[in-house]
Chain A
């Protein structure tokens, strides 16, 4: 069975500082990996996804993530954060078949301090 672990429930960061949100997964088969962002009282927006190919994935809003198969990780990074990045971030995994279920991590609240 698949599972996703987000190690940090909250990450406070100063504006313009770099940030890394950690995500580890477990699965017995090949997976697709995702990062979603959720602003207050809104749905989910896809930041980026890893399907195959290059392990470094670039997404929207300056975010990127690196798939590390040996460490079963998919950490999200941004070199310089802005106040507008304050939100909840969810790592998610899906098995490599069509219309598969997505399993979400518990989420990491990123709060940016001026």
Chain B
């Protein structure tokens, strides 16, 4: 159990367009979902934390108007990159914590979405 999926796995778009990435917990209810971005040969950097039904909490330096996060249900969070530019090209990874467990909430990671902005 505890599978997280992302869709699409890869997307190429033109500069100026918006791209939506979905993150789903397939077999559990996720109280919290996290969005990370990873540049080539670098580590994962946390962008934001989202809780179902409330606004996302963004990390310092992450533009909330550019990276719109919606966590509409306990199994789905979406990240929309608005007016994407080539510098937004990156590997975006989501993770989810399982609801109703002990004090330790393990994060389960999705397979990632490769965004390329031309």
Contact = CB atoms under 8 A, between A and B. Distances in A.
Q: Do A and B come from one complex?
A: yes
Interface size class of A (residues with CB under 8 A): 20 to 34
Contacts of A41: 91, 112, 114
Nearest to A100: B105
Interface residues of B, number: 25
Interface stretch (B14-22, B38-46, B66-74, B80-88): B38-46
Contacts, number: 53
Contacts of B114: 41
B112 A49 contact: no
A63 interface: no
A83 interface: no
A90 B43 contact: yes
23 contacts: A36-B109, A41-B91, A42-B111, A42-B112, A44-B44, A44-B93, A44-B95, A45-B109, A49-B106, A96-B103, A98-B103, A98-B104, A98-B105, A99-B97, A101-B34, A101-B46, A101-B49, A102-B34, A102-B95, A104-B43, A105-B43, A106-B42, A107-B42
Interface of B: 4, 6, 31-32, 34, 42-46, 49, 91, 93, 95, 97, 103-107, 109-112, 114
